[in-house]
Protein backbone atom coordinates (compact mmCIF):
# COMPACT_ATOMS: atom_id res chain seq x y z
CA UNK A 1 0.00 0.00 0.00
CA UNK A 2 2.69 2.42 1.01
CA UNK A 3 4.87 1.41 -1.95
CA UNK A 4 1.96 1.98 -4.28
CA UNK A 5 1.54 5.41 -2.81
CA UNK A 6 5.24 6.20 -3.19
CA UNK A 7 5.25 5.04 -6.83
CA UNK A 8 2.11 7.05 -7.42
CA UNK A 9 3.78 10.11 -5.98
CA UNK A 10 6.35 9.95 -8.78
CA UNK A 11 3.94 11.43 -11.24
CA UNK A 12 1.40 13.14 -9.00
CA UNK A 13 1.77 15.79 -6.40
CA UNK A 14 -0.43 16.36 -3.39
CA UNK A 15 -2.92 19.08 -4.15
CA UNK A 16 -2.91 22.09 -1.91
CA UNK A 17 -5.61 21.96 0.69
CA UNK A 18 -8.63 23.58 -0.93
CA UNK A 19 -8.75 27.21 0.01
CA UNK A 20 -11.98 28.86 0.91
CA UNK A 21 -13.35 30.56 -2.16
CA UNK A 22 -15.22 33.66 -1.12
CA UNK A 23 -18.80 33.54 -2.33
CA UNK A 24 -19.70 36.52 -4.50
CA UNK A 25 -21.76 39.13 -2.78
CA UNK A 26 -25.07 39.60 -4.58
CA UNK A 27 -27.45 42.38 -3.61
CA UNK A 28 -30.68 40.50 -4.24
CA UNK A 29 -32.94 43.35 -3.16
CA UNK A 30 -31.39 45.74 -5.65
CA UNK A 31 -31.64 43.23 -8.46
CA UNK A 32 -35.23 42.30 -7.52
CA UNK A 33 -36.97 43.80 -10.61
CA UNK A 34 -35.04 41.51 -12.93
CA UNK A 35 -35.26 38.54 -10.59
CA UNK A 36 -39.04 38.88 -10.21
CA UNK A 37 -39.59 39.00 -13.96
CA UNK A 38 -37.31 36.04 -14.67
CA UNK A 39 -38.89 34.10 -11.78
CA UNK A 40 -42.34 34.72 -13.23
CA UNK A 41 -41.05 33.51 -16.60
CA UNK A 42 -39.78 30.26 -15.08
CA UNK A 43 -43.11 29.79 -13.31
CA UNK A 44 -44.78 30.36 -16.66
CA UNK A 45 -42.82 27.46 -18.12
CA UNK A 46 -44.00 25.27 -15.24
CA UNK A 47 -47.57 26.37 -15.88
CA UNK A 48 -47.17 25.26 -19.51
CA UNK A 49 -45.88 21.91 -18.33
CA UNK A 50 -48.32 21.04 -15.60
CA UNK A 51 -51.61 22.89 -15.98
CA UNK A 52 -54.41 21.57 -18.22
CA UNK A 53 -54.74 23.43 -21.51
CA UNK A 54 -57.97 25.26 -20.64
CA UNK A 55 -56.60 26.92 -17.54
CA UNK A 56 -53.27 27.97 -19.01
CA UNK A 57 -54.41 31.19 -20.61
CA UNK A 58 -55.89 32.82 -17.48
CA UNK A 59 -53.03 31.49 -15.35
CA UNK A 60 -50.36 32.84 -17.72
CA UNK A 61 -52.05 36.21 -18.09
CA UNK A 62 -52.39 36.54 -14.32
CA UNK A 63 -48.80 35.44 -13.74
CA UNK A 64 -47.37 37.84 -16.32
CA UNK A 65 -49.42 40.75 -15.04
CA UNK A 66 -48.58 40.10 -11.40
CA UNK A 67 -44.89 39.60 -12.22
CA UNK A 68 -44.60 42.83 -14.20
CA UNK A 69 -46.56 44.85 -11.65
CA UNK A 70 -44.48 43.47 -8.78
CA UNK A 71 -41.26 44.23 -10.65
CA UNK A 72 -42.50 47.76 -11.33
CA UNK A 73 -43.28 48.17 -7.62
CA UNK A 74 -39.75 46.99 -6.86
CA UNK A 75 -38.31 49.60 -9.23
CA UNK A 76 -40.40 52.31 -7.57
CA UNK A 77 -39.27 51.13 -4.14
CA UNK A 78 -35.62 51.23 -5.21
CA UNK A 79 -36.04 54.69 -6.70
CA UNK A 80 -37.82 55.91 -3.56
CA UNK A 81 -34.96 54.43 -1.52
CA UNK A 82 -32.60 56.80 -3.27
CA UNK A 83 -30.85 54.25 -5.47
CA UNK A 84 -31.55 56.44 -8.48
CA UNK A 85 -29.68 59.41 -7.08
CA UNK A 86 -27.34 59.51 -4.09
CA UNK A 87 -27.23 55.77 -3.28
CA UNK A 88 -26.55 54.75 -6.88
CA UNK A 89 -23.92 52.07 -7.01
CA UNK A 90 -22.77 48.94 -8.78
CA UNK A 91 -24.27 45.65 -7.68
CA UNK A 92 -23.54 41.96 -8.29
CA UNK A 93 -19.73 42.17 -8.16
CA UNK A 94 -19.56 44.93 -10.74
CA UNK A 95 -21.90 43.32 -13.26
CA UNK A 96 -25.02 45.44 -12.93
CA UNK A 97 -25.40 49.14 -12.22
CA UNK A 98 -28.26 50.34 -10.05
CA UNK A 99 -28.52 54.02 -10.88
CA UNK A 100 -30.88 56.67 -12.17
CA UNK A 101 -30.91 55.86 -15.90
CA UNK A 102 -31.11 52.12 -15.20
CA UNK A 103 -34.08 52.45 -12.84
CA UNK A 104 -35.82 55.00 -15.09
CA UNK A 105 -35.52 52.77 -18.14
CA UNK A 106 -36.47 49.65 -16.19
CA UNK A 107 -39.63 51.36 -14.96
CA UNK A 108 -40.45 52.45 -18.52
CA UNK A 109 -39.77 48.97 -19.86
CA UNK A 110 -41.96 47.29 -17.26
CA UNK A 111 -44.92 49.59 -17.88
CA UNK A 112 -44.54 49.22 -21.64
CA UNK A 113 -44.32 45.44 -21.37
CA UNK A 114 -47.40 45.33 -19.18
CA UNK A 115 -49.33 47.18 -21.88
CA UNK A 116 -47.82 44.88 -24.50
CA UNK A 117 -48.88 41.79 -22.54
CA UNK A 118 -52.46 43.12 -22.60
CA UNK A 119 -52.34 43.30 -26.39
CA UNK A 120 -50.81 39.80 -26.51
CA UNK A 121 -53.75 38.45 -24.51
CA UNK A 122 -56.46 40.03 -26.67
CA UNK A 123 -58.97 37.37 -27.80
CA UNK A 124 -61.89 39.32 -29.21
CA UNK A 125 -60.50 40.43 -32.55
CA UNK A 126 -60.32 37.29 -34.65
CA UNK A 127 -63.61 35.50 -35.29
CA UNK A 128 -63.95 32.53 -33.01
CA UNK A 129 -62.70 29.26 -34.51
CA UNK A 130 -64.77 26.19 -33.65
CA UNK A 131 -66.50 28.05 -30.86
CA UNK A 132 -63.33 29.14 -29.11
CA UNK A 133 -61.93 32.63 -29.00
CA UNK A 134 -58.43 32.93 -30.49
CA UNK A 135 -55.60 35.41 -30.16
CA UNK A 136 -53.05 36.66 -32.68
CA UNK A 137 -50.77 33.66 -32.28
CA UNK A 138 -50.59 30.40 -34.21
CA UNK A 139 -52.55 27.46 -32.84
CA UNK A 140 -49.37 25.44 -32.92
CA UNK A 141 -46.11 27.03 -34.00
CA UNK A 142 -44.59 23.78 -35.23
CA UNK A 143 -47.49 22.83 -37.51
CA UNK A 144 -46.90 23.44 -41.22
CA UNK A 145 -49.02 26.38 -42.44
CA UNK A 146 -52.10 25.13 -44.25
CA UNK A 147 -51.29 21.55 -43.37
CA UNK A 148 -53.36 18.88 -41.71
CA UNK A 149 -51.65 19.29 -38.35
CA UNK A 150 -52.57 22.96 -38.32
CA UNK A 151 -56.23 22.26 -39.04
CA UNK A 152 -56.34 19.69 -36.29
CA UNK A 153 -54.66 22.07 -33.86
CA UNK A 154 -57.17 24.79 -34.69
CA UNK A 155 -60.06 22.36 -34.37
CA UNK A 156 -58.78 21.17 -31.01
CA UNK A 157 -58.61 24.80 -29.88
CA UNK A 158 -54.88 24.88 -29.19
CA UNK A 159 -53.37 28.25 -28.43
CA UNK A 160 -49.76 29.25 -28.02
CA UNK A 161 -49.79 30.40 -24.41
CA UNK A 162 -45.99 30.03 -24.41
CA UNK A 163 -45.85 33.60 -25.67
CA UNK A 164 -46.27 34.87 -22.10
CA UNK A 165 -43.17 33.20 -20.61
CA UNK A 166 -41.29 34.11 -23.80
CA UNK A 167 -42.17 37.76 -23.46
CA UNK A 168 -41.23 37.68 -19.78
CA UNK A 169 -37.80 36.24 -20.60
CA UNK A 170 -37.34 38.96 -23.20
CA UNK A 171 -38.32 41.60 -20.64
CA UNK A 172 -35.85 40.10 -18.15
CA UNK A 173 -33.02 40.48 -20.66
CA UNK A 174 -34.14 43.99 -21.51
CA UNK A 175 -34.11 45.00 -17.84
CA UNK A 176 -30.47 43.92 -17.55
CA UNK A 177 -29.40 45.41 -20.90
CA UNK A 178 -29.42 49.13 -19.98
CA UNK A 179 -28.05 48.33 -16.51
CA UNK A 180 -25.21 46.05 -17.66
CA UNK A 181 -21.95 47.30 -16.26
CA UNK A 182 -19.56 44.96 -17.97
CA UNK A 183 -19.34 43.85 -21.57
CA UNK A 184 -20.03 40.19 -20.79
CA UNK A 185 -23.30 41.05 -19.03
CA UNK A 186 -24.13 43.29 -21.98
CA UNK A 187 -23.67 40.43 -24.44
CA UNK A 188 -25.57 37.86 -22.37
CA UNK A 189 -28.45 40.29 -21.79
CA UNK A 190 -28.55 41.04 -25.51
CA UNK A 191 -28.97 37.36 -26.31
CA UNK A 192 -31.46 36.77 -23.50
CA UNK A 193 -33.81 39.35 -24.91
CA UNK A 194 -33.15 38.64 -28.59
CA UNK A 195 -33.73 34.89 -28.64
CA UNK A 196 -37.34 34.97 -27.34
CA UNK A 197 -38.10 37.78 -29.79
CA UNK A 198 -36.95 35.65 -32.74
CA UNK A 199 -39.37 32.93 -31.69
CA UNK A 200 -42.23 35.36 -31.04
CA UNK A 201 -41.86 36.77 -34.56
CA UNK A 202 -42.53 33.36 -36.08
CA UNK A 203 -45.84 32.75 -34.29
CA UNK A 204 -48.46 34.79 -36.17
CA UNK A 205 -51.87 33.13 -36.61
CA UNK A 206 -52.57 34.75 -39.98
CA UNK A 207 -50.05 35.00 -42.84
CA UNK A 208 -47.78 32.49 -41.26
CA UNK A 209 -45.34 32.30 -44.16
CA UNK A 210 -44.61 35.99 -43.84
CA UNK A 211 -44.28 35.64 -40.12
CA UNK A 212 -41.81 32.78 -40.41
CA UNK A 213 -39.86 34.65 -43.05
CA UNK A 214 -39.58 37.66 -40.79
CA UNK A 215 -38.30 35.41 -38.01
CA UNK A 216 -35.60 33.91 -40.25
CA UNK A 217 -34.49 37.35 -41.42
CA UNK A 218 -34.47 38.75 -37.90
CA UNK A 219 -32.64 35.73 -36.55
CA UNK A 220 -29.89 35.57 -39.17
CA UNK A 221 -29.23 39.30 -39.13
CA UNK A 222 -29.52 39.47 -35.35
CA UNK A 223 -27.05 36.63 -34.85
CA UNK A 224 -24.73 38.23 -37.41
CA UNK A 225 -24.78 41.54 -35.58
CA UNK A 226 -24.33 39.98 -32.16
CA UNK A 227 -21.26 38.15 -33.48
CA UNK A 228 -19.84 41.54 -34.45
CA UNK A 229 -20.67 42.86 -31.00
CA UNK A 230 -18.91 39.90 -29.42
CA UNK A 231 -15.77 40.39 -31.51
CA UNK A 232 -15.80 44.02 -30.44
CA UNK A 233 -16.03 42.88 -26.82
CA UNK A 234 -13.03 40.58 -27.43
CA UNK A 235 -10.98 43.44 -28.86
CA UNK A 236 -11.90 45.80 -26.02
CA UNK A 237 -10.97 43.07 -23.55
CA UNK A 238 -7.66 42.67 -25.35
CA UNK A 239 -7.11 46.40 -25.19
CA UNK A 240 -7.87 46.88 -21.50
CA UNK A 241 -7.40 43.43 -19.96
CA UNK A 242 -10.84 43.71 -18.36
CA UNK A 243 -14.45 43.82 -19.49
CA UNK A 244 -15.70 46.05 -16.67
CA UNK A 245 -16.94 49.43 -17.91
CA UNK A 246 -15.05 51.43 -15.32
CA UNK A 247 -11.86 49.42 -15.91
CA UNK A 248 -11.94 50.05 -19.66
CA UNK A 249 -12.74 53.73 -19.12
CA UNK A 250 -9.70 54.00 -16.83
CA UNK A 251 -7.42 52.44 -19.41
CA UNK A 252 -8.85 54.68 -22.15
CA UNK A 253 -8.19 57.80 -20.10
CA UNK A 254 -4.84 56.51 -18.87
CA UNK A 255 -5.65 56.66 -15.16
CA UNK A 256 -5.12 53.02 -14.19
CA UNK A 257 -3.26 52.52 -10.93
CA UNK A 258 -1.01 49.64 -11.92
CA UNK A 259 0.20 48.94 -15.43
CA UNK A 260 1.77 45.56 -16.10
CA UNK A 261 3.89 45.05 -19.24
CA UNK A 262 1.12 43.19 -21.09
CA UNK A 263 -1.37 45.97 -20.46
CA UNK A 264 1.22 48.56 -21.43
CA UNK A 265 1.71 46.89 -24.81
CA UNK A 266 -1.99 46.31 -25.61
CA UNK A 267 -3.25 49.65 -24.32
CA UNK A 268 -0.73 51.36 -26.55
CA UNK A 269 -2.50 49.77 -29.50
CA UNK A 270 -5.27 52.17 -30.46
CA UNK A 271 -6.44 49.91 -33.29
CA UNK A 272 -7.80 47.45 -30.70
CA UNK A 273 -9.73 50.21 -28.95
CA UNK A 274 -11.10 51.90 -32.05
CA UNK A 275 -12.08 48.76 -33.94
CA UNK A 276 -13.43 47.13 -30.77
CA UNK A 277 -15.48 50.18 -29.84
CA UNK A 278 -16.80 50.48 -33.39
CA UNK A 279 -17.88 46.82 -33.51
CA UNK A 280 -19.69 47.03 -30.16
CA UNK A 281 -21.41 50.22 -31.31
CA UNK A 282 -22.41 48.45 -34.50
CA UNK A 283 -24.10 45.68 -32.56
CA UNK A 284 -26.07 48.21 -30.53
CA UNK A 285 -26.98 50.35 -33.54
CA UNK A 286 -28.38 47.22 -35.18
CA UNK A 287 -30.75 46.67 -32.26
CA UNK A 288 -31.70 50.34 -32.32
CA UNK A 289 -32.40 50.19 -36.06
CA UNK A 290 -30.08 53.02 -37.11
CA UNK A 291 -29.49 53.41 -40.79
CA UNK A 292 -26.64 51.39 -42.12
CA UNK A 293 -28.02 48.52 -40.00
CA UNK A 294 -31.76 49.11 -40.44
CA UNK A 295 -32.51 46.66 -43.26
CA UNK A 296 -34.24 44.16 -41.00
CA UNK A 297 -36.66 46.66 -39.45
CA UNK A 298 -39.40 47.01 -42.09
CA UNK A 299 -39.49 43.30 -42.96
CA UNK A 300 -39.58 42.14 -39.37
CA UNK A 301 -42.10 44.75 -38.28
CA UNK A 302 -44.40 43.82 -41.14
CA UNK A 303 -44.16 40.06 -40.80
CA UNK A 304 -44.29 39.65 -37.03
CA UNK A 305 -47.64 39.40 -35.24
CA UNK A 306 -48.73 42.98 -34.59
CA UNK A 307 -48.72 42.78 -30.76
CA UNK A 308 -45.15 41.47 -30.98
CA UNK A 309 -44.23 44.28 -33.37
CA UNK A 310 -45.53 46.84 -30.90
CA UNK A 311 -43.62 45.25 -28.04
CA UNK A 312 -40.45 44.95 -30.10
CA UNK A 313 -40.64 48.49 -31.44
CA UNK A 314 -41.18 50.03 -28.01
CA UNK A 315 -39.21 47.88 -25.59
CA UNK A 316 -36.19 46.95 -27.73
CA UNK A 317 -35.60 50.60 -28.52
CA UNK A 318 -35.78 51.60 -24.85
CA UNK A 319 -33.38 48.85 -23.76
CA UNK A 320 -30.92 49.33 -26.63
CA UNK A 321 -30.74 53.11 -26.27
CA UNK A 322 -30.11 52.65 -22.55
CA UNK A 323 -27.18 50.36 -23.29
CA UNK A 324 -25.90 52.68 -26.02
CA UNK A 325 -25.98 55.67 -23.66
CA UNK A 326 -24.15 53.80 -20.94
CA UNK A 327 -21.50 52.54 -23.35
CA UNK A 328 -20.82 55.96 -24.82
CA UNK A 329 -21.03 57.94 -21.58
CA UNK A 330 -19.36 55.52 -19.15
CA UNK A 331 -16.91 53.43 -21.20
CA UNK A 332 -15.93 55.68 -24.06
CA UNK A 333 -16.15 59.28 -22.85
CA UNK A 334 -12.40 59.45 -23.40
CA UNK A 335 -13.01 58.73 -27.08
CA UNK A 336 -15.63 61.47 -27.37
CA UNK A 337 -13.76 63.20 -30.18
CA UNK A 338 -13.71 59.99 -32.16
CA UNK A 339 -17.27 58.77 -31.73
CA UNK A 340 -19.11 62.05 -31.90
CA UNK A 341 -18.47 62.68 -35.62
CA UNK A 342 -19.42 59.08 -36.40
CA UNK A 343 -22.64 59.32 -34.42
CA UNK A 344 -23.39 62.65 -36.06
CA UNK A 345 -23.16 60.96 -39.43
CA UNK A 346 -25.27 57.99 -38.36
CA UNK A 347 -27.92 60.27 -36.82
CA UNK A 348 -28.18 62.42 -39.95
CA UNK A 349 -28.39 59.46 -42.34
CA UNK A 350 -30.90 57.71 -40.08
CA UNK A 351 -33.23 60.71 -39.84
CA UNK A 352 -33.09 61.44 -43.57
CA UNK A 353 -33.46 57.87 -44.83
CA UNK A 354 -36.18 57.02 -42.29
CA UNK A 355 -38.26 60.05 -43.20
CA UNK A 356 -37.80 59.92 -46.97
CA UNK A 357 -38.29 56.20 -47.52
CA UNK A 358 -41.40 56.25 -45.32
CA UNK A 359 -43.08 58.54 -47.84
CA UNK A 360 -43.21 55.76 -50.44
CA UNK A 361 -44.66 53.08 -48.15
CA UNK A 362 -48.09 51.59 -48.76
CA UNK A 363 -48.40 49.33 -45.73
CA UNK A 364 -49.23 50.70 -42.30
CA UNK A 365 -46.82 48.42 -40.45
CA UNK A 366 -43.96 49.22 -42.83
CA UNK A 367 -44.80 52.90 -42.54
CA UNK A 368 -44.55 52.67 -38.76
CA UNK A 369 -41.28 50.73 -39.15
CA UNK A 370 -39.68 53.49 -41.21
CA UNK A 371 -41.08 56.03 -38.79
CA UNK A 372 -39.35 54.11 -35.99
CA UNK A 373 -36.09 54.35 -37.95
CA UNK A 374 -36.54 58.12 -38.23
CA UNK A 375 -37.23 58.27 -34.49
CA UNK A 376 -34.04 56.32 -33.83
CA UNK A 377 -32.29 59.13 -35.71
CA UNK A 378 -33.89 61.81 -33.52
CA UNK A 379 -32.86 59.87 -30.43
CA UNK A 380 -29.30 59.56 -31.74
CA UNK A 381 -29.23 63.33 -32.13
CA UNK A 382 -29.79 63.53 -28.37
CA UNK A 383 -27.19 60.84 -27.72
CA UNK A 384 -24.50 62.79 -29.57
CA UNK A 385 -24.93 65.74 -27.22
CA UNK A 386 -22.53 64.13 -24.71
CA UNK A 387 -23.98 66.21 -21.88
CA UNK A 388 -26.28 65.54 -18.89
CA UNK A 389 -29.08 67.16 -20.88
CA UNK A 390 -28.41 64.67 -23.62
CA UNK A 391 -29.02 61.77 -21.23
CA UNK A 392 -32.20 63.14 -19.68
CA UNK A 393 -33.70 64.22 -23.00
CA UNK A 394 -33.13 60.78 -24.50
CA UNK A 395 -34.69 59.15 -21.43
CA UNK A 396 -37.74 61.37 -21.76
CA UNK A 397 -38.03 60.81 -25.51
CA UNK A 398 -37.91 57.04 -24.96
CA UNK A 399 -40.92 57.21 -22.62
CA UNK A 400 -42.95 59.28 -25.06
CA UNK A 401 -41.97 57.10 -28.02
CA UNK A 402 -42.63 53.77 -26.28
CA UNK A 403 -46.23 54.45 -25.36
CA UNK A 404 -47.19 56.13 -28.63
CA UNK A 405 -45.78 53.16 -30.53
CA UNK A 406 -47.59 50.60 -28.40
CA UNK A 407 -50.85 52.49 -28.85
CA UNK A 408 -50.40 52.86 -32.60
CA UNK A 409 -49.73 49.17 -33.16
CA UNK A 410 -52.67 48.29 -30.89
CA UNK A 411 -54.91 50.35 -33.19
CA UNK A 412 -53.48 48.52 -36.21
CA UNK A 413 -54.72 45.22 -34.73
CA UNK A 414 -58.30 46.53 -34.72
CA UNK A 415 -58.71 47.29 -38.42
CA UNK A 416 -59.49 43.96 -40.01
CA UNK A 417 -60.97 42.28 -43.05
CA UNK A 418 -61.48 38.67 -44.06
CA UNK A 419 -57.73 38.00 -44.27
CA UNK A 420 -56.93 39.25 -40.79
CA UNK A 421 -55.49 42.69 -40.25
CA UNK A 422 -55.96 45.07 -43.16
CA UNK A 423 -52.59 46.76 -43.17
CA UNK A 424 -52.58 48.10 -46.73
CA UNK A 425 -52.96 51.86 -46.58
CA UNK A 426 -55.56 51.99 -49.35
CA UNK A 427 -57.90 49.98 -47.14
CA UNK A 428 -57.69 52.63 -44.46
CA UNK A 429 -59.38 55.18 -46.74
CA UNK A 430 -62.45 56.65 -45.12
CA UNK A 431 -61.88 54.95 -41.81
CA UNK A 432 -62.84 58.21 -40.11
CA UNK A 433 -66.40 57.92 -41.46
CA UNK A 434 -66.76 54.28 -40.55
CA UNK A 435 -65.28 54.44 -37.08
CA UNK A 436 -64.57 58.02 -35.99
CA UNK A 437 -63.27 57.07 -32.56
CA UNK A 438 -60.58 54.63 -33.75
CA UNK A 439 -59.52 56.96 -36.55
CA UNK A 440 -59.31 59.89 -34.15
CA UNK A 441 -57.20 57.90 -31.71
CA UNK A 442 -54.86 56.82 -34.51
CA UNK A 443 -54.68 60.45 -35.65
CA UNK A 444 -53.56 61.46 -32.16
CA UNK A 445 -50.76 58.89 -32.29
CA UNK A 446 -49.70 60.01 -35.76
CA UNK A 447 -49.64 63.66 -34.65
CA UNK A 448 -47.47 62.62 -31.70
CA UNK A 449 -45.11 60.79 -34.08
CA UNK A 450 -44.97 63.92 -36.19
CA UNK A 451 -44.17 66.04 -33.15
CA UNK A 452 -47.14 68.43 -33.24
CA UNK A 453 -47.33 70.67 -30.13
CA UNK A 454 -49.53 69.52 -27.24
CA UNK A 455 -48.57 65.90 -27.91
CA UNK A 456 -45.80 64.03 -26.17
CA UNK A 457 -43.85 63.76 -29.43
CA UNK A 458 -43.34 67.52 -29.49
CA UNK A 459 -42.04 67.67 -25.93
CA UNK A 460 -39.65 64.79 -26.59
CA UNK A 461 -38.35 66.19 -29.86
CA UNK A 462 -37.94 69.63 -28.36
CA UNK A 463 -35.89 68.25 -25.45
CA UNK A 464 -33.65 66.17 -27.71
CA UNK A 465 -33.01 68.92 -30.24
CA UNK A 466 -32.40 71.46 -27.46
CA UNK A 467 -29.75 69.22 -25.91
CA UNK A 468 -28.15 68.67 -29.32
CA UNK A 469 -28.15 72.38 -30.15
CA UNK A 470 -26.60 73.32 -26.82
CA UNK A 471 -23.76 70.90 -27.45
CA UNK A 472 -22.99 72.70 -30.70
CA UNK A 473 -24.66 70.27 -33.08
CA UNK A 474 -26.62 72.93 -34.96
CA UNK A 475 -26.39 71.23 -38.39
CA UNK A 476 -27.76 68.08 -36.81
CA UNK A 477 -30.74 69.99 -35.43
CA UNK A 478 -31.42 71.61 -38.80
CA UNK A 479 -31.41 68.23 -40.55
CA UNK A 480 -33.60 66.87 -37.75
CA UNK A 481 -36.21 69.60 -38.10
CA UNK A 482 -36.24 69.27 -41.89
CA UNK A 483 -36.70 65.51 -41.75
CA UNK A 484 -39.42 65.97 -39.12
CA UNK A 485 -41.19 68.14 -41.66
CA UNK A 486 -40.87 65.41 -44.30
CA UNK A 487 -42.12 62.88 -41.76
CA UNK A 488 -45.05 65.11 -40.82
CA UNK A 489 -46.08 65.03 -44.49
CA UNK A 490 -46.71 61.32 -44.56
CA UNK A 491 -48.33 61.21 -41.14
CA UNK A 492 -50.74 63.93 -42.19
CA UNK A 493 -51.32 62.12 -45.49
CA UNK A 494 -52.60 59.11 -43.54
CA UNK A 495 -54.88 61.36 -41.48
CA UNK A 496 -56.24 62.97 -44.65
CA UNK A 497 -56.76 59.52 -46.13
CA UNK A 498 -58.71 58.41 -43.08
CA UNK A 499 -60.96 61.44 -42.76
CA UNK A 500 -61.32 63.05 -46.18
CA UNK A 501 -61.75 60.21 -48.62
CA UNK A 502 -64.71 57.99 -49.39
CA UNK A 503 -64.72 54.62 -47.62
CA UNK A 504 -64.37 51.69 -49.99
CA UNK A 505 -67.36 49.37 -50.17
CA UNK A 506 -65.13 46.33 -49.59
CA UNK A 507 -63.22 48.15 -46.87
CA UNK A 508 -62.21 46.66 -43.56
CA UNK A 509 -64.29 46.57 -40.43
CA UNK A 510 -63.16 47.79 -37.07
CA UNK A 511 -63.25 45.07 -34.46
CA UNK A 512 -64.53 45.90 -31.00
CA UNK A 513 -61.74 44.97 -28.59
CA UNK A 514 -62.03 43.65 -25.08
CA UNK A 515 -60.92 45.63 -22.06
CA UNK A 516 -57.31 44.50 -22.63
CA UNK A 517 -56.59 46.26 -25.91
CA UNK A 518 -58.85 49.14 -24.89
CA UNK A 519 -56.66 49.65 -21.81
CA UNK A 520 -53.52 49.60 -23.95
CA UNK A 521 -54.88 52.21 -26.33
CA UNK A 522 -56.33 54.34 -23.53
CA UNK A 523 -53.01 54.40 -21.67
CA UNK A 524 -51.25 55.32 -24.91
CA UNK A 525 -53.63 58.24 -25.57
CA UNK A 526 -53.54 59.40 -21.94
CA UNK A 527 -49.74 59.45 -21.77
CA UNK A 528 -49.50 61.11 -25.19
CA UNK A 529 -51.72 63.95 -24.05
CA UNK A 530 -50.39 64.26 -20.49
CA UNK A 531 -46.74 64.23 -21.54
CA UNK A 532 -47.60 66.71 -24.27
CA UNK A 533 -49.58 69.18 -22.19
CA UNK A 534 -47.62 68.97 -18.92
CA UNK A 535 -44.22 67.43 -19.60
CA UNK A 536 -42.51 69.33 -16.80
CA UNK A 537 -42.83 66.73 -14.07
CA UNK A 538 -41.53 63.92 -16.24
CA UNK A 539 -38.72 66.06 -17.66
CA UNK A 540 -37.62 66.80 -14.10
CA UNK A 541 -37.82 63.12 -13.23
CA UNK A 542 -35.66 62.28 -16.25
CA UNK A 543 -33.31 65.10 -15.28
CA UNK A 544 -32.91 63.71 -11.76
CA UNK A 545 -32.34 60.24 -13.16
CA UNK A 546 -29.80 61.38 -15.71
CA UNK A 547 -26.53 60.50 -13.96
CA UNK A 548 -24.66 57.29 -14.62
CA UNK A 549 -22.76 55.61 -11.81
CA UNK A 550 -19.22 54.49 -12.52
Partner 1 sequence: MNPVNYLYLAALLFTIGATGVLIRRNAIVVFMCVELMLNACNLAFVTFSRLHGNLDGQIIAFFTMVVAAAEVVIGLAIIVTIFRSRHSASVDDANLLKL
- Whether residue 340 contacts residue 468, with contact meaning beta carbons closer than 8 Å, is answered with no
- Whether residue 450 contacts residue 156, with contact meaning beta carbons closer than 8 Å, is answered with no
User: Which of 61, 103, 111, 199 is in the footprint of partner 1 by CB under 8 A?
Assistant: 199
What's the closest the beta carbon of residue 207 comes to partner 1, in angstroms?
Answer: 8
Tell me if 525 contacts partner 1 by CB under 8 A. no
In the stretch 310-349, what mask flags binding to partner 1 with x, by CB under 8 A? Answer: ----------------------------------------
Tell me if 486 contacts partner 1 by CB under 8 A. no
Pairing of strands 509-510, 415-417: antiparallel
Give the binding range for partner 1 (CB under 8 A) out of 95-103, 216-224, 336-344, 399-407.
Answer: 216-224
Nearer CB in complex with partner 1: 71/352: 352
> Counting Cβ atoms within 10 Å, is residue 117 exposed (0-12), middle (13-18) or buried (19+)?
buried
Tell me if 495 contacts partner 1 by CB under 8 A. no
- Whether residue 358 contacts residue 370, with contact meaning beta carbons closer than 8 Å, is answered with yes
509 forms beta bridges with: 416
- Residues 459, 460, 465, 467, Cα dihedral to 10°: 100
Find the binding residues for partner 1 in span 135-174 (CB under 8 A).
141-142, 144-146
Give the binding range for partner 1 (CB under 8 A) out of 57-65, 228-236, 327-335, 506-514.
Answer: 228-236
What's the closest the beta carbon of residue 61 comes to partner 1, in angstroms?
Answer: 24
What's the closest the beta carbon of residue 414 comes to partner 1, in angstroms?
Answer: 22
Q: How far apart are CA 196 and CA 183, in angstroms?
A: 21
- Residues 170, 103, 118, 192, Cα dihedral to 10°: 0
415: left (phi over 0), alpha (psi -120 to 50) or beta: beta
180 forms beta bridges with: 96
Q: How far apart are CA 400 and CA 391, in angstroms?
A: 15
Length in residues, the chain:
550
What's the closest the beta carbon of residue 253 comes to partner 1, in angstroms?
Answer: 19
Tell me if 119 contacts partner 1 by CB under 8 A. no
Find the binding residues for partner 1 in span 242-271 (CB under 8 A).
242-243, 260, 262-263, 266
Q: How far apart are CA 168 and CA 528, in angstroms?
A: 25
Nearer CB in complex with partner 1: 112/180: 180
Nearer CB in complex with partner 1: 166/545: 166
Which run of H or of E encompasses 89?
A: strand 89-91
Nearer CB in complex with partner 1: 340/365: 365
Tell me if 227 contacts partner 1 by CB under 8 A. yes
Nearer CB in complex with partner 1: 224/500: 224
Binding site for partner 1 (CB under 8 A): 141-142, 144-146, 184, 187-188, 191, 195, 198-199, 202, 208-210, 212-217, 219-220, 223-224, 227-228, 230-231, 233-235, 237-238, 241-243, 260, 262-263, 266, 298-299, 302-303, 360-362, 366
Amino acid sequence: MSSAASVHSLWTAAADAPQKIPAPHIEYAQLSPTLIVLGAAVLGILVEAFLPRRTRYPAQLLLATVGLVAAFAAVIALAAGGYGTDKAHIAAMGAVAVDGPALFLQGTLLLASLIAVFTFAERRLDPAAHGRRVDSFAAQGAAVPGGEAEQEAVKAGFTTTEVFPLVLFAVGGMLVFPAANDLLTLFVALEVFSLPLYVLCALARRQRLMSQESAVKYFLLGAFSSAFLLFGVALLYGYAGTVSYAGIADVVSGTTRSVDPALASTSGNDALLLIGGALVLMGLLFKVGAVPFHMWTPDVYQGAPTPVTGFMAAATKVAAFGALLRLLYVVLPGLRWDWRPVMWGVAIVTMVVGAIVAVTQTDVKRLLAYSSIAHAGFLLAGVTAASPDGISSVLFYLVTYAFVTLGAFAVVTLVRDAGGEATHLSKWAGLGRRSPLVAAVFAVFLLAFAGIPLTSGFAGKFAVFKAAAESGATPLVIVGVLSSAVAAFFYVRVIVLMFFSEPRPDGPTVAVPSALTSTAIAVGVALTVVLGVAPQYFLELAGQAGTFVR
